[in-house]
Structure 1
Amino acid sequence: MHYEGPIYRPPSEAHSLLVQATIGCPHNRCTFCMVYKKGPRYRVRPMADIVADLEEARQTHGDGVRRVFFPAGNTIAMPTEDLCSICAHAHRIFPHLERVTVYGSSQYIHKKGPGDLKQLADAGLSRIHVGLESGDDVILRMIKKGTTAEQQVEAGLWTMAAGIQLSLYVILGIGGTARTVAHASRTAQVLNRVAPDFIRLRTFVPKINTPMLKMVQSGAFEMLGPHGVLKETANLIRLLDAPSQLTSDHYTNYLNLEGRLPECRGRLIEEIDAALKRPESDFRPFFIGDQ
C-alpha cells in the first residue's frame, strides 16, 4: 500500500480499509484547516496505482473487507469516470463490501450535479463525508469555504436523491461570539432542508499555521468558552427537525451527545443543561491543535 501526505479519516471509518485515491485538497483555502497548507499539492493518483493497492489489499486481507474509504481530503473532486471505476473495482474484488466512502466538499459535489452523483451511486459509492461547517454565509465567507449555504443545500439534496448517504459536519463555535446566534439558527435551517443521514458535531480549535489562529491571537476573533459552545449547541438542537442521527464523536467536543432527531431532542437538551451547571474549569482546557 502506498500513501503520500497527511492521511485522515473520520472516526466512523476506523475499521475501513484506507486506499488513497487523491493527494491533498483542490480547494485548500479554508482558514481553519492546517492539513495541506504546506502541501502536497492536489492531484489524482494514477488509476493503475489505485487498482494495484486494491489488489494488494485483496491479497493481504482476503475477500472479507466490508468497508473501504478512499482518502485524501476531497476525493469527490476526482473525475467521475475514475471514481466510478475504483468504486466498482472495490465491489468486484470484495464481494462482502458494505460501504465505500469518500470526503467531499459541497462545491465539488455541486460541480458533479445530479447525473454524475447517480453514476457514482450506481458504481457503489455509498457515503460522502462533507464539512458543512456552517449554514451562515457570513461565516462561510470568513472561513473561505468556497461555497454558500444554498449551494450546500443543493449538493446535499442531490447526494441523497442519488441514493448516497450523507454525513454533514458542523463546527461549533466557528462563528465566535459575534456570530453564535446566526451560526446556530442558519445552520439549523440548512440541516432541516437537507435532512442528512448524519449530523456530526465538532468544536472549533485553532490550529497551527492557519489564518484563524492568527485572528484568535490578535483578538480579531473571540472564541466561545465551554459554556458558550454548549449554549450554541443547545440553540442548534432546539431548532433541528431533520430526521437525522446526531453524534459528537470527536476529541474537540466538550460533551458527547448522541441521539436520533427529532425524538431525542428533549434528552439532549437535558444533558446540555446538566453540563452547563458544571464550572467551565471542569471541561477540557484551551489548546492549539497540531493535527
Structure 2
Amino acid sequence: MNYQGNIFRPPSEAYSILLQVTTGCSHNKCSFCSMYKGSRFTIKDDATIMADIDFAAAHCRGQDRLFLCDGDALIIPQKRLVGILQAVKTKLPWVTRVGTYANTKSIRMKSPEQLRELRENGLGIAYMGLESGDDQTLGAINKGADSGRMIETGRKIRDAGIKLSITVLLGIAGVERSAVHALETGRVLSAIDPEYVGALSLMLTDGSPLYEAAQNGTFTLPSPTGVLEELGIMFAATELSNGYFHANHASNYLPIKALLPRDKEKTLKLIDKALSGKLSLKPEYLRGL
C-alpha cells in the first residue's frame, strides 16, 4: 500500500483495510490537534488509489471493513469518490462497510442526493469530531463551525442513511467552562441523535497551540476528578433514541460503554461511585492516545 506521512484511523477501524485516498486534513486548524501539522492536504491520484485497491484485493481478504484515510476523504469530488467506492465494491466484494472521517465543510459540500449515492455505493459510516457543543469553546479551539452547523450537518448525514459516530473531548473547555461545555455538548448530541458517541479525554500534545497555552498558563486542563464530573454532566444531559455512548478510549480515566436510553441510570450510578472514591480511576501512566 502507498502510504504517505502518518496514518490515523478511529479505534473502531483497528482491523480495517486502510486505504489512503487523501493526505493530511482539509481544515487542519484545530488548536488541540497536532496530528497533521506540517502535512499538506492533497487528494491522491486515481492511479495510486486503484493500485492500492488491487493490492488489497490480493492481500487483505481477511478484512471485511475498509476505512478511507486521512483526515477528510468525504471532501473528494463526488464523481471521483463514487468511482473509488465502486472499485472497492467490484474488487473487494467481501468488504461489508466503508468508513470515512467527515467534517462540517465536506458534509455541506454534498447534497442530500449525493450523500445517498455514497451510501448506495457502500459508504456505511462517517466519523465526525464535534469536540464540544459550546459555541464559545468551538470558537476558542478554531473548530470552524458553531453548534448549529454541527447539528445541521450531523442530521444531514443521518438523514442520508449513513451511520454517524461523533467524537467529543472531555477537558477541551478547560476548568472555567467545564460544566457549560458538558451541558451544551449533551444538548447537541441529543439534537443530532447519532448511532455512536465516543468521549475521549483531552491529552495535550507537543506542537499544538493548546499545549502552548497550557505551558504559558492561559489554559488549565481539569483534574482527573474534574474530567469525571464533566463526563457525568455530559452523560446526564445526553438523550439518544438508540445509540451507544462510549468512554472506553485509552485516554479516559473511567471506562464506560452504555446503550442509551437503556443503560443511563446504571452508568450514572457508576460515575457517582467513582466520584465518591469507591472505584479507582486509571492511573496516568496507563493513559494514551
Q: Same fold (TM over 0.5)?
A: yes
C-alpha contact (below 8 Å) 1:65/1:94 kept by paired residues: no
Q: Post-superposition shift, 1:153?
A: 0.6
Offset from partner CA, 1:92-125 (integer Å, 9 cap, x none): 1222221100111122212223232122112211
Structure-1 residue corresponding to 2:10: 10
SS in 1 for 2:128: strand
Offset from partner CA, 1:121-179 (integer Å, 9 cap, x none): 12211100111101111011100011111111111111011110000000011001111
Alpha-carbon distance between aligned partners in 1 of 2:140 and 2:216, rounded to the nearest angstrom: 16
- Relative to the length of structure 1, the TM-score reads 0.94
- What is the Cα-based RMSD across aligned positions, in Å? 1.9
SS in 2 for 1:19: strand
Offset from partner CA, 1:241-288 (integer Å, 9 cap, x none): 112111123111111100101221111111111211339995423899
Q: Where in structure 1 do 4 or more consecutive aligned residues deviate above 6 Å? A: 286-289
Percent identical among aligned pairs is 34
Q: Post-superposition shift, 1:70?
A: 0.8
Match of 2:188 among 184, 187, 190: 190
SS in 1 for 2:116: helix
Unaligned runs of 5+ in 1: none
Offset from partner CA, 1:189-210 (integer Å, 9 cap, x none): 1111110010001001111101
Alpha-carbon distance between aligned partners in 2 of 1:287 and 1:223, rounded to the nearest angstrom: 18
Alpha-carbon distance between aligned partners in 2 of 1:114 and 1:210, rounded to the nearest angstrom: 35
Structure-1 residue corresponding to 2:152: 154
* Matched positions, count: 288
SS in 2 for 1:9: coil
Q: Post-superposition shift, 1:19?
A: 0.9
Structure 1 residues 213, 280: closer, same or farther in 2, change over 3 A? farther
Structure 1 residues 170, 121: closer, same or farther in 2, change over 3 A? same
Structure-2 residue corresponding to 1:139: 137
1:257 correspondence with 2:256: yes
C-alpha contact (below 8 Å) 2:250/2:287 kept by paired residues: no
C-alpha contact (below 8 Å) 1:85/1:123 kept by paired residues: no
Unaligned runs of 5+ in 2: none
Structure-2 residue corresponding to 1:109: 107
C-alpha contact (below 8 Å) 2:274/2:281 kept by paired residues: no
SS in 2 for 1:176: coil
1:34 correspondence with 2:26: no
SS in 1 for 2:185: helix
Q: Look up the equivalent residue of 2:49 and give its one-letter code.
A: I
